[in-house]
Amino acid sequence: MTLETNLHTTPAPPPAADALSSWDAFLDSIPLLPQPVLPSESEYSQVLGILRATRPLLDNDRDWIPPNIALLEGQLPVYETLIDRLDTALEELQALRDMMREVSKEFPSTLAPIRRLPSDVLRSVFRETQSDLDGRGSSCWPTIKFTHDTLTLAQVCASWRDIVVSSPELWSDIKITFPSLTVDNPGRSPLLKTILPLSGQLPLDIRLVSDGDTSSGEAIEAFSSLLRERHRWRSASLKLPLDLLEQLRASSGKLPCLESLTLMTPRSRWDRRSLPAGDVSDVFIDAPSLHKVVWHQSIGYGSFAFPSQITHLAASFTFIHNLHIHTLLEELHLEVKHDDDIAFLHRITLPKVRRLSVSSLKSLRHLSLPSLEDLAFDRYSVGILPFAHDDVEAAAEILNDFIRSSHCSLTSLATRTSIVYAPNSIQETLPLLESLTSLAFEIDDVSEPSFYDTLMSPNVLPNLQFLIMRLPKPGIEDIFQDALSTMLASRRLSVRIEYPIMRDNKHVGILNRLEPLRQLGVDLRVEDTGSSFGISFGKFA
C-alpha cells in the first residue's frame, strides 16, 4: 500500500481447519500421554474390603500396600507437568482472543454516523460545550443554555436527537445571557421560539441576564417570548435593565407556578431615571405559589407588591411598601442605605421570622420579631468615622431595645461590629442572650482581654458553644493569646479565628504567630475580604 494510491490490502483470516490443525500439532508436540499403571484388580478389591470393613487388616497386608502407594504417587508429577503446560497454552489462547475482541470493537467505531459530520459542525459543537476558563469568549455573544446541555446532546446522532426532542424535562431549565457588548451574530430569539414548545407544559426555571444600560432588540424579543410563557414559570432569576424592567411592570397575567423570584438590575451610573414615588406594580401579586423573593437594592425604579404568603424575602427596606402584611415570613434580609428614610412610624410585628439579616441596625427600630433565633447585622456608624466608641455604644443600645421589645430568644448572633466590648453590652446585652449558642463578631484589640475575662464566668452566655472572631483588615495584627487560652481552659467552646487575605501576604505571618492556638483546638482560617459574615443577602437557609 502507498500513500499515492491509498490502496488497502486486507489479510484473509486463517481457515478454521488450519487453526484446528495448528492446535492438533501443538498437542502432538506433547509426548504421548502415559497410561497409568494401577494395582491389580485383586489388590484393589482387597483395599475396598478393608475400607468398607468387610475384611480385617492382616499383618501380611503391610507387605503389598506401601509399594502400591509409592507406585501411584510416583506417577502424579508427570500428569501435573502436562496439565501446567496445557494451562499455559490456554492462557495464551485467551489473551489472543481478548486482543481480537478489542480490535474488533475499534474498527466498527470508525463507521459511526457522527464521524461523517463535517469538521466545521464538530467544531461548532466543541465551541458550544468547551469550558470558558478565563471568562473570555462569552463576553460578547448572546447564549442560550440548558442545565442538561440539551443542545449538544441533540447533535450527537439521529437517535439521540429523537430522544432529546421527545423529553420535555430536558428543555425546562433555561439560561439566556445578553452581554453589554454585542457583535454581529445570529439572533437567539428564533431559536428560543423553536425550543420553548419542546418543554411541553412543564414548569419552567428561567434565568435571564441582560447587562448594559439598554437592551438589544434580540433581548427584548427574547424576554417577550418568556413573558408569554409566564404561566409556566416555576423560578425566575432576572437581571434586567430599565427598559426590560418597564416591560415586566407593564405585563399582566397570572403566575400560578412561580415559587421563587430573584430580581435585579445592572448597576449603571448613566441612567438614573426613576418612576414616580409610590408607583407600585402588582405584576407579581397574582402568584399563589410564590414563597421566596430576592429583590436587590439596585432596583430603584418604583416598587413591586408581593403576595402575602411569601416566607422568604431579601429586599431593600425602603422599597417594601407592604411589609406589614407578610406575617408568614420565616426569613428576612433587609438592605438599608445610609441616606434612606424609613417611613414606618411603628414597629412591624412579624411573628414567624426566625432568621434576620440587616445591613443597618436602624432597621431593628421598626421591627418586632418574637420568634427570631438567628440575627446578623453589618457595621454600625452614627457619625462620619466608623468604629468609634459612640458607634459601639449606640449599636448595643439598639440591640438591647430590639431584644426587649421583641421578647425573642436568640441562638445565633453575627456582626462586624465589636459590639460585645461595649460596657453597656457586657452589663445589659449579654444577660439578654442566655439562649445564645453561636456568637460571631469582629475583634477589638482594646477591649479584647476584658471580654475573655467576662466569658470565664459560667453565668455569662451559659449555652454558648461556638465562638467566631474575625480580625479586621487594618490595624490589629494579633490577639491576646494568653487571655484566650485561659478562657478556653475554663469553658468548652469551639473557637474559630478568621483573618482577611491581604495582597502583601501579611496574613501568613499573623497566622504563624497564632499557630500555638491550634494546639488548644482553635480553628485558624484565612477568608476573602468580601466573604460573608453570618447570613448572606439572598442566601436562604
152-186 pLDDT, tens digit per residue, is: 777 777 767 777 788 888 888 888 888 765 544 55
Looking at the 3D structure of the chain, how many domains does it have? 2
330 and 255 in a common domain: no
19 domain-assigned: no
**Residue 447: per-residue pLDDT:** 63
- Pick the more confident residue, 510 or 373: 373
The contacts found for 524-530 with CB under 8 angstroms, 24 or more apart, are 524/496, 524/497, 524/499, 525/496, 525/497, 525/498, 525/499, 526/498, 526/499, 526/500, 526/501, 527/470, 527/498, 527/499, 527/500, 527/501, 528/500, 528/501, 529/473, 529/500, 529/501
**Cβ proximity of 265 and 289 under 8 Å:** no
Tell whether 135 and 241 lie within a shared domain.
yes
Question: Is pLDDT above 50 for 132?
Answer: no
> What's the rounded Cα separation, in Å, for the pair 483 and 481?
6
Same domain, 462 and 491: yes
Q: Mean of the pLDDT values across residues 214-222?
A: 77
Whole-number pLDDT of residue 174: 87
Q: Are residues 263 and 355 in the same domain?
A: no
Average pLDDT along the chain: 78
Q: Has residue 137 got a pLDDT over 50?
A: no
Predicted confidence band of residue 309 (pLDDT cuts 50, 70, 90): very high
216 in any annotated domain? yes
Question: How does residue 44 score in pLDDT terms, banded at 50, 70 and 90?
Answer: confident
Same domain, residue pair 247 and 365: no
419 and 499 together in one domain: yes
For a pLDDT cut of 90, what percent of the chain falls above it?
17
State the average pLDDT over residues 406-410.
93
SS3 472: coil
- Has residue 359 got a pLDDT over 80? yes
In a domain, 368, yes or no: yes
Q: What is the mean pLDDT of residues 485-507?
A: 80
pLDDT of residue 407: 93
> Which contiguous run of DSSP H or E holds residue 57?
none
303 and 388 housed in the same domain? no
Angle between helical axes of 448-455 and 481-490 (0-180°, round to 10): 10
Q: Which residues pair with 204 in a beta bridge?
A: 233
- pLDDT category at 125 given cuts 50, 70, 90 is low
Residue 420: pLDDT band (50, 70, 90) is low
CA 473 to CA 470: how far, in whole Å?
Answer: 9
Task: Kindly list the distances between the CA atom of residue 468 and the CA atoms of 91, 386, 473, 495, 537, in Å, as whole numbers in the listed order.
Answer: 65, 22, 16, 6, 19
**Does residue 178 fall inside a structural domain?**
yes
**Residue 100 covered by a domain:** no
Report how far residue 393's alpha carbon sits from residue 375's, in angstroms, rounded to the nearest whole number.
Answer: 18
306 and 246 inside one domain: yes
**103 found inside a domain:** no
Contacts for 324 with CB less than 8 Å, ≥ 6 apart = 344, 348
pLDDT of residue 4: 46
Task: Say what the pLDDT of residue 438 is.
Answer: 93
| Residues 509 and 378 occupy one common structural domain | yes
Lowest mean pLDDT among 29-43, 359-373, 377-391: 377-391
pLDDT at residue 6, rounded to an integer: 52
CB 244 within 8 A of CB 210: yes
Q: Specify the pLDDT at position 465.
A: 92
Residue 55 located in a structural domain: no
The pLDDT score that the predictor gives to residue 422 is: 65
CATH of the domain at 445: 3.80.10
Percent of the chain at pLDDT > 70 equals 73
Q: Evaluate whether residue 3 is within a structural domain.
A: no
Question: What residues does 295 pair with on adjacent strands?
Answer: 263
Which residue pairs, CB below 8 angstroms and at least 24 apart, start in 511-514? 513/478, 514/478, 514/479, 514/481
In this structure, are 477 and 369 located in the same domain?
yes
Q: What digits encode the pLDDT tens for the residues 451-488?
A: 787 888 878 889 999 988 887 765 455 667 788 888 88
Domain containing residue 202: 115-268+278-310
Instruction: Tell me: pLDDT of 204 over 70.
Output: yes
Q: Is the pLDDT of residue 279 over 80?
A: no
537 and 505 housed in the same domain: yes
479 and 530 share a domain?
Answer: yes
